[in-house]
């Protein structure tokens, strides 16, 4: 006879792992299922590193959620004795015509976030390896930095299992029921699992599991990432010489992370790529992207213009129409929850998402309207950056 759970969480990425963690801490019987394993190489949470920053332009909600999440990631690092967070600092390059960074600074001040405002001269003095003639000033978040994404999610799952969560490798089929409640989920291997509640935290797979509901509301897009090999014996591109760099005023929205653990200098463009299938999509980067990257490097990071590409990755964003998360009850099935829509910025918020889902379900906490299914449109108009 199969075990009965209070909650089955489907998806062991950043959102599902932290949700299972908090539900278990609240005393619930929890199983966590994943088709490919926690933070696997297809998952959006499966990259080596993710940026954690407090700045979100004028958007105080996500600034608050980042500020809530960072100490929890740090606590996890202490508890598991791993370096899961690197305090590299996050540098926002700006120019005089850019309202986003000005508003971001106002929000950081209001929230009491440690920050510095750097003049163009100061940017050049502190970071001589960079060349940003277009930046007239910058905002620096010295306390922010880089999370070791894959390792961190796996650490959350390991800790949850130690505390009594059952982790099960299983691929769940799209759920079906003709009543207002779902009794069980079925897997591709022919088994089934029962629970009082089901939480689908399946990131870019959510539209496959709920095609009628989400095919038009969550769009996975192909995102390419490059790791460059700096010159031997040079530390210009490692912390503390190099912070995370966000050049959002540039049309390609480039961002870069310092060389951490000798993996290489990571750089990518934060604009949405073409639509992408997370199971079968090709994860080989395009030649065109490499020439675009070289052009950017030539202008702004000349020391890396000819640097070898030591590794590439293709990941996917799981975008809602405007970039707000989807965290809501299924509109027809009262014991089913949908958690996802990280939209290229969700990773850092994993702890806050887990806390929020747990409080919503167990304590009937107030719902944030921006996370509702009803607020999700079908036309793509990104508004959260
Ligand atoms: C290139 C790139 C850079 C990014 N940079 C940042 C950043 O710097 N900072 C930041 O905060 N965020 C960043 N993000 C966004 C962030 O990584 C995602 O928003 C976040 O990881 C989403 O987590 P998730 O748990 O919702 O989804 P996922 O991590 O994709 O997890 C979903 C899980 O569900 C499982 N699953 C799916 N279907 C099934 C099924 N049928 N049965 C069982 N299991 C199933 C999958 O195997 C997977 O493990 C970036 C994303 C990408 C792609």
Cis peptide bond N-terminal to 240, omega within 30? yes
Which residue from 22, 69, 344 has its CB within 8 A of the most atoms of ligand 1, so it is best to mutate?
344
Q: What share of the chain in percent tops pLDDT 90?
A: 98
How many angstroms does the Cα of residue 45 sit away from the middle of ligand 1? 4
Average pLDDT, stretch 34-50? 98
Is the pTM higher than 0.85?
Answer: yes
Q: Please give the Cα distance from 286 to 289 (Å, whole number).
A: 5
How many angstroms does the Cα of residue 46 sit away from the middle of ligand 1? 7
How many angstroms does the Cα of residue 122 sit away from the middle of ligand 1? 36
Q: Does residue 35's CB lie within 6 angstroms of at least one atom of ligand 1? A: yes
Average pLDDT, stretch 67-84? 98
Whose structure tokens read 């970071």? Answer: 127
Q: Which residue(s) pair with 150 in the sheet?
A: none
pLDDT beyond 60 at 1: no
| pLDDT tens readout for residues 205-256 | 999 999 999 999 999 999 999 999 999 999 999 999 999 999 999 999 999 9
Closest residue by CA, ligand 1 atom 20 = 347
Average pLDDT, stretch 9-29? 98
Q: Does residue 351's CB lie within 6 angstroms of at least one atom of ligand 1? A: no
| pLDDT tens readout for residues 270-294 | 999 999 999 999 999 999 999 999 9
| pLDDT tens readout for residues 309-358 | 999 999 999 999 999 999 999 999 999 999 999 999 999 999 999 999 99
How many angstroms does the Cα of residue 35 sit away from the middle of ligand 1? 13
pLDDT at position 280 is 97
Which ligand 1 atom minimizes the distance to the CA of 46?
29
Cα Rg of the chain, angstroms: 21
Q: Does residue 220's CB lie within 6 angstroms of at least one atom of ligand 1? A: no
| pLDDT tens readout for residues 126-167 | 999 999 998 999 999 999 999 999 999 999 999 999 999 999
pLDDT at position 139 is 97
Which ligand 1 atom minimizes the distance to the CA of 16?
25
| pLDDT tens readout for residues 369-385 | 999 999 999 998 999 99
What is the chain's mean pLDDT, rounded?
A: 97
pLDDT at position 4 is 87
**Residue 3 pLDDT class (50, 70, 90 cuts):** confident
Q: Are 306 and 361 in contact (CB under 8 A)?
A: no
Instruction: Choose among 139, 172, 123, 223: nearest CA to 8.
Output: 172
Which ligand 1 atom minimizes the distance to the CA of 257?
8
Contacts of 203 (CB under 8 A, 6+ apart): 11, 13, 15, 43, 44, 45, 278, 318, 340, 342
Q: Are 6 and 29 in contact (CB under 8 A)?
A: yes
């Amino acid at each position: 006879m199969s075990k009965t759970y209070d909650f089955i969480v489907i998806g062991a990425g950043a959102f599902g792992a932290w949700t299972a963690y908090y539900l278990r801490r609240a005393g619930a019987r929890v199983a966590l299922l994943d088709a490919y394993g926690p933070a696997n190489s297809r998952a959006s949470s499966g990259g080596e590193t993710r940026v954690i920053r407090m700045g979100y332009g004028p958007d105080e909600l996500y600034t608050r959620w980042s500020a809530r999440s960072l100490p929890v990631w740090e606590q996890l690092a202490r508890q598991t004795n791993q370096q899961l967070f690197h305090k590299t600092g996050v540098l926002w390059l700006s120019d005089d015509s850019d309202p986003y960074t000005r508003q971001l600074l106002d929000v950081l001040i209001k929230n009491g976030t440690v920050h510095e405002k750097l003049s163009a001269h100061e940017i050049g003095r502190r970071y001589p390896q960079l060349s940003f003639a277009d930046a007239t000033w910058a905002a620096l978040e010295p306390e922010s930095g880089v999370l070791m994404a894959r390792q961190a999610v796996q650490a959350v799952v390991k800790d949850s299992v130690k505390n009594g969560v059952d982790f099960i490798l299983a691929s769940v089929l799209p759920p079906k029921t003709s009543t207002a409640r779902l009794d069980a989920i079925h897997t591709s291997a022919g088994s089934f699992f029962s629970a009082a509640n089901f939480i689908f935290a399946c990131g870019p797979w959510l539209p496959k599991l709920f095609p009628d509901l989400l095919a038009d509301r969550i769009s996975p897009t192909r995102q390419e990432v490059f790791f460059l090999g700096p010159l031997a014996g040079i530390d210009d591109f490692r912390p503390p010489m190099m912070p995370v760099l966000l050049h959002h005023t540039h049309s390609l929205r480039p961002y870069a992370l310092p060389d951490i653990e000798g993996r290489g200098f990571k750089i990518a463009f934060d604009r949405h790529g073409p639509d992408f299938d997370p199971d079968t999509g090709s994860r080989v980067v395009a030649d065109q992207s490499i020439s675009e990257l070289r052009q950017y490097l030539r202008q702004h990071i000349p020391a890396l213009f000819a640097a070898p590409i030591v590794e590439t990755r293709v990941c996917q964003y799981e975008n809602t129409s405007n970039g707000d998360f989807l965290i809501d009850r299924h509109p027809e099935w009262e014991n089913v929850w949908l958690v996802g829509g990280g939209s290229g910025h969700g990773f850092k918020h994993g702890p806050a998402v887990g806390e929020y889902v747990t409080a919503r379900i167990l304590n009937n906490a107030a719902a944030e309207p921006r996370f509702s299914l009803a607020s999700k449109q079908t036309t793509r108009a990104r508004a959260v950056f």
